[in-house]
Amino acid sequence: MTDAAADDLTAPIEGTGLRLVLVPAAVLLAASEAEGPVDWPGVGTISEELAVAMPAAMRIRQAEADPSVAAWLIRGIVVDDAASPTGLRVVGHLGGHDRPDGDGMVEVGYTVAAADRGRGLATEGARTWFAWAHRHGATTARLSIVPTNAPSIAIAARLGLKPTERVWDDDDQVWEQVFEAALPLDHAP
């Protein structure tokens, strides 16, 4: 990667066995209106399952209000796939809620397609995104998880995040457990 690419917040973020590719505004718009799969030119298809789970409309509004935040928002979790016409396959999406706040905290959310769960993609995606965020000024990683979501709680543990508080999520109308850790994260499994 060139120095220019390293400084480009919109460049794909390379992880182990995956890359996090910024979802373009036109694809986000299509996902926000999706009643089926969404074509992502040059990358592949976002399945209906992933498109309806994507907080596309919320992130579009956020980026319209402040275009400089767009690189921190939704990225596709993309893996190599020799059977795909593009050589790639979208297995999920992951994105920050915003750029680092005044205290350097960043929060990420993720969804992996049911057929691709259990392969460590959400863990590796979050680990990769948090490392990228740290290179761009973040000092604290955060996940907010519904207490009944055992797989995500396991991801938080694998990443080394510890429970800190319970908070009410106004958007989802649920209580969530907050998990946090200082960045950079320990990369041990």
For residue 1, the SS3 value is coil
User: Is a pLDDT exceeding 90 seen at residue 5?
Assistant: no
Kindly provide the b/e burial profile for residues 162-178, where b requires at least 16 CB atoms within 10 angstroms of the residue's own CB.
Answer: eeeeeeeeeeeeeebbb
Q: Identify whether 85 is preceded by a cis peptide bond (ω within 30 of 0).
A: no
What is the rounded distance in angstroms from the CA atom of residue 42 to the CA atom of residue 175?
39
The mean pLDDT value for 56-66 works out to 95
Q: Does 73 or 34 have the greater pLDDT score?
A: 73
For residue 89, the SS3 value is strand
What is the rounded distance in angstroms from the CA atom of residue 31 to the CA atom of residue 74?
11
Spell out the domains of the chain, with CATH numbers in brackets: 3-182 (3.40.630.30)
Q: Does 58 or 7 have the greater pLDDT score?
A: 58
Sign of the alpha-carbon torsion through 20, 3, 184, 16: positive
8 Å CB contact between 89 and 30: no
What is the rounded distance in angstroms from the CA atom of residue 94 to the CA atom of residue 129?
8
Put simply, whether the predicted model's pTM sits higher than 0.85 gets the answer yes
DSSP state at residue 96: E
Q: What pLDDT is stored for residue 8 in this prediction?
A: 87
Query: What are the tens digits of pLDDT across the range 6-31?
Result: 468 999 999 999 999 999 999 999 99
The mean pLDDT value for 127-137 works out to 96
Query: What are the tens digits of pLDDT across the range 146-158?
Result: 999 999 999 999 9
Query: What are the tens digits of pLDDT across the range 64-120?
Result: 999 999 999 999 999 999 999 999 999 999 999 999 999 999 999 999 999 999 999
What is the rounded distance in angstroms from the CA atom of residue 69 to the CA atom of residue 99?
6
In the chain, the percentage of residues whose pLDDT exceeds 70 is: 95
Res. 128 pLDDT band, cuts 50 70 90: very high
